[in-house]
Structure 1
């Protein structure tokens, strides 16, 4: 069962800036630019029939672009052993 989320693509210049922040962190595997995104909603594991319903609903979404600013960085998990690193955003 795939794990799904709704997310937004980041502009290339923001991805480039975020990738420059890389530093040695024990146990961290850095992601590529293609994997950087803004997670809006994490759905978790979704079954086959649920997958089609989510995909169908997503096709109906119509939105315009909007400005965001990167504001701060942090991690999920203990700072000594982070599970995920994140960058915050603000309007």
Structure 2
């Protein structure tokens, strides 16, 4: 399974971001825009993880989540990887409590590592963002980046983390495997593991 752990922006934040991106579409024909339902803030990309790792991984993620209180974020600005002049990814950044965001990402990565599902990019600088679109070949997206530079979306409160399965090929599909609240520990849900079963017990 190809897995990652993420935060989901609020519906209001996604609405505002979609409105901000609408004028850019005509001038960035090279981009394959990411669907609204796929937009998220990755905390840790875990890559390929065997189903046998889930019984250890899910409780670790729950513990990581409940160590951190909810915090405020907003989507803001824009950029491109690897550079605006030769871009393959257009993104928007994050404003708000970035310190809390970074600390949560570190806890999630550490929990995954202890569960035997270490992120393949562990050790790289964490660069939180929301992917807006991708190019099959490098393209000049300097104009789009410039137009996004002053963007400031509405604030929302991050209240839970999600473990998501990503299925590639054609249109990417996401399936939420589990979700855990930050700090309070008042809410817990987990879907049945792929292939059936009754879920994973709390650790």
TM-score range, shorter chain: 0.7 to 0.9
Judging changes above 3 Å, is the alpha-carbon distance between structure 1 residues 47 and 14 closer, same or farther for their aligned structure 2 residues? same
Partner of 2:90: 85
Structure of higher CA gyration radius: 2
Counterpart check, 1:43 vs 2:42: no
Q: Deviations over 1:60-87 (max 9, x none)?
A: 4325432112221112235355333221
| CA distance in 2: counterparts of 1:70 and 1:80, whole angstroms | 22
Partner of 1:15: 14
Give ranges in structure 2 of 5+ residues lacking alignment.
Answer: 97-203
Q: Normalising by the residue count of structure 2, what TM-score does the alignment of the two structures yield?
A: 0.38
Judging changes above 3 Å, is the alpha-carbon distance between structure 1 residues 73 and 52 closer, same or farther for their aligned structure 2 residues? farther
Q: Quick check: 35-44 or 18-27, which moved more?
A: 18-27
Partner of 2:79: 74
| CA distance in 2: counterparts of 1:84 and 1:52, whole angstroms | 34
Cα displacement (A) at 1:88: 0.8
Give ranges in structure 1 of 5+ residues lacking alignment.
Answer: none
| CA distance in 2: counterparts of 1:76 and 1:52, whole angstroms | 35
Cα displacement (A) at 1:15: 0.5
Point out 4+ residue stretches in structure 1 off by more than 4 angstroms.
none
Task: Work out whether residues 81 and 90 of structure 2, in 8 Å CA contact, stay in contact via their aligned partners in 1.
Answer: yes
Q: Deviations over 1:18-67 (max 9, x none)?
A: 11214232432222222111111111221222244323322343254321
Between the two proteins, the alignment pairs up a number of residues equal to: 90
Task: Work out whether residues 13 and 74 of structure 2, in 8 Å CA contact, stay in contact via their aligned partners in 1.
Answer: no
1:27 to 25, 30, 53: 30
User: Counting strand residues as a fraction of each chain, which structure ranks higher?
Assistant: 1
What is the aligned-residue RMSD (CA, Å)?
2.2
